[in-house]
C-alpha cells in the first residue's frame, strides 16, 4: 500500500470539484459486479458525460506523468477513472475488485492495483475511511484532497459509512507489466534506491549502470505484455 502525496494540486482539485458539482449522478450499484453490488451504496458521475470523460482523461495524463505512480505500478493498462460520491448514510461494504475488467474499447484488462484519489478534505465529512485488509491488519486511509493511495486489487476493502458531509473521490484500476505483487514491490524499492544514489556524487557511473542493468533485466524477465 503506497500513499502518494499531492497527486493533484489544490487548483486542480478545485477544478475537478467545480465540474463534479454540475455532474449527473447515477446509482453506483450499476457499475458493481456480483456480490459487490449487494454492499455498494454511493453515487457515480455519469461516465458518458463529455465533461466527466474530459476529467477522466486529464487524470489519466496525471497518472502517466507521476514518477511515483509509474515506478510503483509499472502500468500496462489503466481503466478510465470513475468519480464517486458518498453522501450521508452511504457506504461500500467489504468486497474485492473484479479481477478482469473490460475497457471502453472492449479490450480486456486484469486488475493488479487499485487507486483512490481523494477529492474532499478530511474535515469535510465524518466517516468515509477507506479500510484495506493487509498482512499487517486492517489499515484505515483518509487523506487530504489531492492525495492518493495505491494498493493491490486483490485486497479485501471497504468504505466506512459517511455519517456527515460528503466524500468525493476518483477510483481506477491498473494492469501492471509485473503481475506479481512481491516482485513489483521489490522493483519499486530497487528503483527508489537507484534514484537516491543518483543524487550522491560519490557513487560512480559504473555502479549506477550495474544497478540499472539488474533493474531492467528483472523487468524484462518478469513482465507480461
**Res 136: pLDDT:** 85
pLDDT one digit per residue (tens) for the chain, 225 residues? 899 999 999 999 999 999 999 999 998 887 776 667 788 889 999 999 999 999 999 999 999 999 999 999 999 999 999 999 999 999 999 999 999 999 999 999 999 999 999 999 999 999 999 999 988 899 999 999 999 999 999 999 999 999 999 999 999 999 999 999 999 999 999 999 999 999 998 899 999 999 999 999 999 999 998
User: Which sign does the torsion angle of CA 132, 136, 142, 143 carry?
Assistant: negative
* Cα 61 from Cα 103, distance rounded (Å): 17
As its CATH architecture, domain 2-176 has Sandwich (2.60)
8 Å CB contact between 119 and 170: yes
Neighbours of 137 (CB within 10 A): 7
Neighbours of 24 (CB within 10 A): 12
**Res 2: pLDDT:** 93
**Res 214: pLDDT:** 95
**Res 33: pLDDT:** 65
Q: Whose CA is closest to 224, among 13, 24, 64, 74? A: 74
For the chain, the structural domain boundaries read: 2-176, 181-222
Take residue 106 and report the three cell numbers written for it: 472492449
Amino acid at each position: 500500500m503506497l500513499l502518494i502525496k499531492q497527486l493533484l494540486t489544490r487548483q486542480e482539485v478545485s477544478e475537478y470539484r467545480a465540474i463534479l458539482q454540475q455532474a449527473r449522478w447515477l446509482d453506483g450499484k450499476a457499475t458493481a459486479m456480483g456480490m459487490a453490488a449487494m454492499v455498494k451504496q454511493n453515487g457515480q458521475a455519469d461516465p458518458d458525460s463529455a465533461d466527466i470523460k474530459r476529467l477522466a482523461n486529464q487524470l489519466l495524463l496525471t497518472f502517466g506523468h507521476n514518477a511515483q505512480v509509474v515506478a510503483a505500478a509499472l502500468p500496462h493498462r489503466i481503466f478510465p477513472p470513475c468519480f464517486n460520491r458518498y453522501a450521508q448514510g452511504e457506504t461500500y461494504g467489504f468486497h474485492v475488485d473484479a479481477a478482469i475488467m473490460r475497457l471502453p474499447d472492449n479490450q480486456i484488462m486484469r486488475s493488479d492495483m487499485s487507486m483512490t484519489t481523494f477529492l474532499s478534505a478530511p474535515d469535510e465529512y465524518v466517516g468515509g475511511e477507506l479500510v484495506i485488509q493487509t498482512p499487517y491488519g486492517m489499515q484505515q486511509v483518509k487523506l487530504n484532497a489531492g492525495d492518493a493511495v495505491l494498493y493491490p486489487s486483490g485486497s479485501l476493502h471497504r468504505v466506512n459509512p459517511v455519517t456527515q458531509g460528503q466524500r468525493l473521490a476518483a477510483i481506477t484500476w491498473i494492469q501492471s507489466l509485473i503481475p506479481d505483487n512481491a516482485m513489483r514491490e521489490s522493483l519499486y524499492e530497487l528503483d527508489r534506491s537507484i534514484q537516491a544514489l543518483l543524487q550522491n556524487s560519490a557513487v560512480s557511473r559504473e555502479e549506477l549502470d550495474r544497478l540499472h542493468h539488474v533493474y531492467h533485466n528483472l523487468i524484462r524477465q518478469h513482465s507480461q505484455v
